[in-house]
A and B are shown apart, each in its own frame.
Chain A
């Protein structure tokens, strides 16, 4: 019996020391070092058929405070692939540029790059800027495009093989797909608000998502409204009668101009088969006059164009946001619609 008890005691002792076994992961997550990541600003883009060039922005992703950008040269390879339509033979890197701000003045500078004979491959040299002491935080690779009205097709630019002696990774996305912007509403359009009634309609529609607009009267505007439809995004710009002095400084040359103030309403859009949907966000101002929250809004409309493509009529039916979408609570609702007709700019 004693033998069994002693064996049991030894077993109990063994269990006690078994406690030293740690119940951990087989592989430790590599989450406590934070290499800098060089990433593309977007995965895809588009421009009008007659665009002569297009810039793809490459930047360092958000990084922790106290982390310095590399002070040594990096190189990055690129290749232009999947060219189709009229893009073949017309696309190449034109330049690689970045901006430096010194003494409230913006200077555009270029990075060196080498390209293969066909221009479809090359290497960008990201060297430290003498004034910054580091490589730039972002730069733009500008591609030449055919620039013809009948341009069609697209291409893909792939970046690879980042070489560096510093802890920098080439993050995702690493490829950028370009195509010709070919939806019906693409481009710049202009609306002339000629009457107070027309302005009130515009205000009734967009006032709820723009407190600045809601406070305006007809006398405060010039009547000019532009609508710029780009790749997936658009912007209404309402010109005000009030002007301001705007000073810009580029490459050491300072210039001051008098410009009209504007009110901008930005949204993403989807235009398809006569139906147009806008999706954006608008600020909610609290009692203290500060932005308390930001709510998404959604506007539904239809569009038509004349045969020549010179006018664009947009008929708005509704505008709702996250807090006001139920029937009867919409920010704007008109079953017959409110129409604004824009002309090609």
Chain B
């Protein structure tokens, strides 16, 4: 550890030395200027009064030359004489006046006798004594809501900044009077003269007024505001980024963060029971996307992976969601697909704000209701110094699904009933020590519970006439409760000093997945005749059992008394992932000639501990009396499964069975070997320490913004687990490795005009392997000559990313954007089969091992287009129409070991990569009523790579249609209703070719209606 810290210290010092040297040189050059001035008539002795407004530099020079004996000497190629300046006139002498001119126009002016030599100023650190800070917020004049993403500029210069998610900004300007200009899509441009104190700060709030001429016919509601906020943040971002604001989420009927993200270009989602869960950015699997809250990575509650199930996070908690498709050096580098940052809210007003919502709904398949409530209280106290925001939300839904699955010749009917709750509690306390210094403490608590009852009928026909098999029907009923918690605490501060900004944060976060019970009761029955026809109707296979069709209520498979108890599995699992993080960032503004720049550097340490414990007890029944399903069946079940195509009867009732089990404990015998092998093979502990540092600079010269820098991340990982040999012998094992990544990043943004940006980025990033692949747990079956082993030496996937994007913003709150992206992935991870005699427990026997290994490389190429606009230019009532559309095409190939011939290579499409992803949403606004029909298309993708191409599993493309309607009674009170999955689109999986379905799962439609209001 000491060696690593020393290495890190050396690396930091290596970066700091040139930075400090640059700063010293800049300071010397600035302070050397006055020393060089020497003349008979000192300019500081020459009294002069000049007051000009928006006057060009050339005109100003002429005025000064006319009123004094001095003459300016300069090169017109190096000086921008057209630059316009404003001087208040309150200057005591020519020297002070010229200092103000030099500061505003970024010049060096040197007196040589009666000549004033003028040249562009070199890159210098600002002189603290001459610079002041303008801090403040940009708010909507009518709604008094903050406007994030506003452009705040010192007029006539390239010196500017943007407001953060709280609408706040900090802008350094020369002390004295400065005209500050604010622009925001959908609002009138606003400017105001501000007196900036030397070495101090001034607080200003800018009130923006909607641009009625642009937004005619549109009622400015929270929905439109959300759209404005998102687009403004996107427009002013330094990197290629999509932003979804909280209000914007309300445009679509998306109850959780994952579903809100599916509307973003180049984002698609994986669903669970019809609800979005995992996010895939640019066609890359979920582990390639970094998920963070307020810029800090969230640990994953799940055992084997790093990525976070976003259905656990209620959308109500957030101020916005940012999807960065090209990362900057100050962001975590393990984000090949992109980085999703969830930004929580902060108190904005000295008035007590109460925002609340109450909803209720209905799920057609379960026939049950769902409801949701949220409440947010926020207020700033003590003269705006202390802000407190408290947010709570709760969502409960009773869902279900109807599913059939095929496994070779077997057919399964699955009847799901789920009770899900999502609870979100968050708070932000921030305190402004002064205008330059503030502290914050953020807390977040998310709890997701998922109680699932799954009743299965498994029809196993005796198709090959084997005398060793019978026609069987198995009944398996699973009943489990899964609880996920994500907790995070962030304590940090932001400081604005004369010459630099400093922010730092310490955070603790923990994610837990606790499954306190997971019970599956199995029962079996043998039948004389059983056949399944998958071909006549591939959508819905038919069963004939004892010569009766599947829908017949008298069919023998419905007789619960025929099913004998087989075994019961009772399990519980506990997975925990804990992060302790500390980080700091320092930003040093500077000027380089006409350009404004920011030099930024920082460091970060993240210590992660992850563990997984499992208990799995399988009991057989040894009691003397017969135990059949009818004795322990009960509870709800689907009485109209797949529109009455199949019949069902009550499943095993876990409550009833557990009571029987507890009172007849002596009649159940534990399978000891299975318990030991399963628990040992899956349990593990891991630690992962990450040390990172970066340096970057952002420079703005007129319309061009350049952002470049480098980040270094060093990771040290260690694991402990067990090796299970021949299902009986259990040996402890451990592993670990360390690796470092140097990640250079370059971003270019060129503003062709106020509404048109061109962007390009070349970045390096990587993706750490899933824990399930690297933990050295091994299952070796020497007798069978095969085994699966973890690979603690697995290298992360590295990537070089190229992005080019053009974006045109419309004053009517819209955007047209298009771009291309390319990713070159190195050390691609795939599952490799190979023969080896080196493995735990080996006595020289060569066996076939399966292990995740690094492959050669993979390429991914794509383009995306997005268009959204309020069509106010259309005639008549058509003006109320709006459109939101995006489409992404992605193509990929990865080179892996050939599945036909292990010595060859073959190319495959990246798992999880959909070729076509898109959204089309049409809205219509008539007065205070807004209706919207939204379609989300997710193209087919490979979900699992099989033993050969014919066994590859594909998730079929899916088009979901949703509708929402909103009535805005007042800007603070809205009624709305939502309908989801109107066309009952199933989740479908096929194997090899589209005619060979192996799964079709239906969720039917569900709806919600309610009210949202603000006080």
Contacts and interface: CB of A to CB of B under 8 A. Distances in A.
Interface string A299-319: 000000000000000000000
B393 to A, nearest CB: 7
A24 B371 CA distance: 20
A29 B356 contact: no
Interface string B556-598: 0000000000000010000000000000000000000000000
Contacts of B373: 11-16
Candidate in A24, A43, A65 with the most chain B CB atoms within 10 angstroms: A24
Interface stretch (B270-278, B463-471, B497-505): B463-471
B655 A27 contact: yes
A286 B784 CA distance: 7
A12 B468 contact: no
Contacts of B447: 19
A16 B374 CA distance: 7
Interface in A3-35: 5, 8-9, 11-19, 22-32, 34-35
Interface stretch (B290-298, B615-623, B642-650, B996-1004): B615-623
B506 interface: no
B10 interface: no
B375 A16 contact: yes
B665 interface: yes
A132 interface: no
B252 interface: no
B393 A25 contact: no
A292 interface: yes
Interface in B390-421: 392-394, 396, 419, 421
A6 to B, nearest CB: 8
A16 B783 contact: no
B421 A23 contact: yes
A224 to B, nearest CB: 32
Interface string B360-377: 000000000001111100
B107 to A, nearest CB: 58
A2 B352 CA distance: 14
A292 B784 contact: yes
A211 interface: no
Contacts of A27: 655, 658-659, 662
A313 B784 CA distance: 39
Given A8-B1013, A39-B669, A171-B669, A29 B662 contact: yes
Contacts of B519: 29
Q: Is the interface of A mostly helix, strand, loop or mixed?
A: loop
Nearest to A23: B451
A24 B782 CA distance: 42
Contacts of B665: 30, 35, 169
B570 A325 contact: no
Given A25-B654, A30-B662, A171 B421 contact: no
B468 A287 contact: no
Given A15-B373, A27-B659, A172 B623 contact: yes
A117 interface: no
Interface centre among A29, A61, A293 (most CB of B within 10 A): A29
A9 B375 contact: yes
A203 B1015 CA distance: 93
Contact of A172 (B659, B667, B675): B667
Contacts of A8: 356, 358, 1011, 1013
Given A16-B373, A22-B449, A173 B624 contact: yes
A175 interface: yes
A215 interface: no
A32 B421 CA distance: 27
Interface of A: 2, 5, 8-9, 11-19, 22-32, 34-35, 37, 39, 43, 61-65, 169-175, 286-288, 290-293, 296, 298, 320, 322, 325-326
Interface of B: 354, 356-358, 371-375, 392-394, 396, 419, 421, 423, 425, 447, 449, 451, 464-468, 479, 481, 516-517, 519, 570, 615, 617, 619, 622-624, 654-655, 658-659, 661-662, 665-667, 669-673, 675-676, 782-785, 845-847, 1011, 1013, 1015
16 contacts: A8-B1011, A15-B373, A16-B374, A17-B394, A23-B449, A27-B659, A30-B665, A32-B615, A39-B622, A61-B669, A62-B671, A64-B672, A286-B785, A288-B845, A288-B846, A288-B847
> Closest 8 CB pairs between A and B?
A15-B373, A19-B423, A12-B373, A172-B622, A16-B392, A62-B672, A169-B666, A31-B570
